[in-house]
Amino acid sequence: MNNKKRILVLNGPNLNLLGKREPGIYGNDSMESFLAHLRESFPEVEVEYYQSNVEGELINKLHEVGFTYDGVALNAGAYTHTSVAIHDAIKAIEAPVVEVHISNVYQRETYRHTSLITGACVGVIGGFGLNSYKLAIEALLAL
């Protein structure tokens, strides 16, 4: 029997371009190569990955995994700062969601200082580069 915990890493808009997009802020590594590292780091966890640039698709994914998975590490990208709908989707599901940011949003433009999703999440991790995802998974496993 497979007793592995299941955690979804869920990435929002423009995060498909990691490694190419503003490397001074987001680094040179692609999510694909980092995912391999994540899976090696947590052999006891099934780390699933999904990315979409479309708000509704992120919401559909939260609904899909939200009653069966053990947690979600969500980097909603710019939707973090705008989306009541993603906030509501996080509230609607049972799985704990950790808000993730690669950059330290508080060192950046003031419009990034407001998150509409933090209040629906169990916690927030940001500013540690791609390692923020690893810390989020550790936090989910420690709940």
The residues that touch ligand DQA, with contacts defined as CB under 6 A, are 14, 75, 77-78, 80, 101-103, 105, 112
Q: Specify whether the CB–CB gap between 111 and 138 falls below 8 A.
A: no
Q: Return the active site residues.
A: 26, 101
Query: What are the Cα distances from residue 114, in Å, to 40, 94, 103, 105, 126?
Result: 34, 24, 14, 9, 13
Residue 75 CB, nearest approach to ligand DQA (Å): 5
User: With respect to ligand DQA, which residue has the nearer C-beta, 60 or 104?
Assistant: 104
Instruction: Work out the number of other CB atoms within 10 angstroms of the CB of residue 143.
Output: 10
User: With respect to ligand DQA, which residue has the nearer C-beta, 5 or 30?
Assistant: 30
Residue 45 CB, nearest approach to ligand DQA (Å): 21
User: With respect to ligand DQA, which residue has the nearer C-beta, 59 or 102?
Assistant: 102
Residue 2 CB, nearest approach to ligand DQA (Å): 31
Q: Tell me, what DSSP letter sits at residue 45?
A: E
Q: Classify each residue of 89-124 as buried b or exposed e, where b means 16 or more C-beta atoms within 10 Å of its C-beta.
A: bbeebebbbbbbbbbebeeeeeebeebbbeebbbeb
